[in-house]
Amino acid sequence: MLEIEGVSIRFGDNPEAVSDTTFTVYDGDRLAVVGETGSGKSVLLLAALGLLPSSARITGSIRLNGRELLGCREQELNRIRGKEIAYIPQGSGNGLNPLFTVGHQLCETIRKHQRCTRREALIQAAMLLESFGLEQSEALCRSYPFQLSGGMRQRVLIAMGIAAGAGLVLADEPTKGLDRHRIALVEDAFQRLGERTLLCVTHDLHFAQTISSRVVVMYASQQIESGDSTSFFGEPLHPYSRAMLDALPENGLQANMGFAPPRKDTIAQSACHFYDRCAWRTGQCRKAPPLIEVGERAVRCWKYAH
């Protein structure tokens, strides 16, 4: 459905924000892109939506059902966004306009892509809210965002994203700023997406494990590992992935990655980006490794080269 091939993104003369990233989101897929803040996750998502500033220099290809998105005119992107691709921005529902009611904002989205009356759109909006477990939907439609909890606002944003019937949902840090109870509500909302395809950027590993069937790991602008979620969370391949999972509380906070993450402008382009923090490094790691296939998975680490 969505093919990202050899994508690199740079802003001005700064180091690359995303470097040579390739993966495919298949129809009906649930793919989570995980990694530290600044690894390039959200930038990649915004590139697919055509929402990066004009200073961004993008190479590679991003195709939706075979159609190239990079270089699309704004008018065409406006038609695609909402109708074919739903976007759920990061934060605890802060993407909602505080000056308009929930119903007004949902109806606006529905009527932009469908020929219907306001009354018909309002009925659709109420039914959509109920499908995400939001009760008393008619009263909710008359409410303003500040009257809702963070978890409720995030579920409204998810409903708004798919209101026009998009089959592909792109979500950017949907649990950011939420406590565990509200995160559980968002997890439930994602489970209610049905057969829609999901590409979710998140730093919350518990959330990623709950909602995804496949995982892509980003580190210092690079894609360093990809594979199915069960294999990844059971036996990660890349040393960074292992350290990241070891750092979870239930694993004893036992990660040891040595030095702090490198600034991108200090990374030697000829070396593995994880070189300075890796306990497994050898002399070969002074040369940047390619993505190496390991069964149905892939990892950017010389340890798996044969």
The full set of domains in the chain, from first to last, is 2-304 (3.40.50.300)
Question: Would the pLDDT of 130 be above 80?
Answer: yes
Q: pLDDT-derived band of residue 105, with 50, 70 and 90 as boundaries? A: confident
- pLDDT for the residue 259: 44
Which of 68-82, 165-179, 191-205, 206-220 holds the top average pLDDT?
Answer: 206-220
Q: Which of 29-38, 117-126, 133-142, 262-271 has the lowest mean pLDDT?
A: 262-271
Mean pLDDT of 95-122: 85
Mean pLDDT estimate for the chain: 86
Q: pLDDT-derived band of residue 217, with 50, 70 and 90 as boundaries? A: very high
- pLDDT for the residue 94: 66
The Cα 176–Cα 95 span in angstroms is 12
Q: Which of 177-181, 200-204, 252-256 has the lowest mean pLDDT?
A: 252-256
Question: Would the pLDDT of 255 be above 60?
Answer: no
For residue range 193-208, list pLDDT tens digits in order. 878 899 999 989 999 9
Of the candidates 42, 122, 52, 130, the one whose C-alpha atom is nearest the C-alpha of residue 90 is: 42
- pLDDT for the residue 224: 95
- pLDDT for the residue 93: 59
Q: pLDDT-derived band of residue 302, with 50, 70 and 90 as boundaries? A: very high
The Cα 47–Cα 70 span in angstroms is 8
Q: Which of 37-41, 56-60, 178-182, 272-276 has the lowest mean pLDDT?
A: 178-182
For residue range 141-174, list pLDDT tens digits in order. 899 988 888 778 888 888 887 777 788 999 998 8
> If DSSP states are collapsed to H, E and C, what string results for 193-234?
CCCCEEEEEECCHHHHHHHCCEEEEEECCEEEEEEEHHHHHH
Of the candidates 274, 280, 279, the one whose C-alpha atom is nearest the C-alpha of residue 300 is: 274
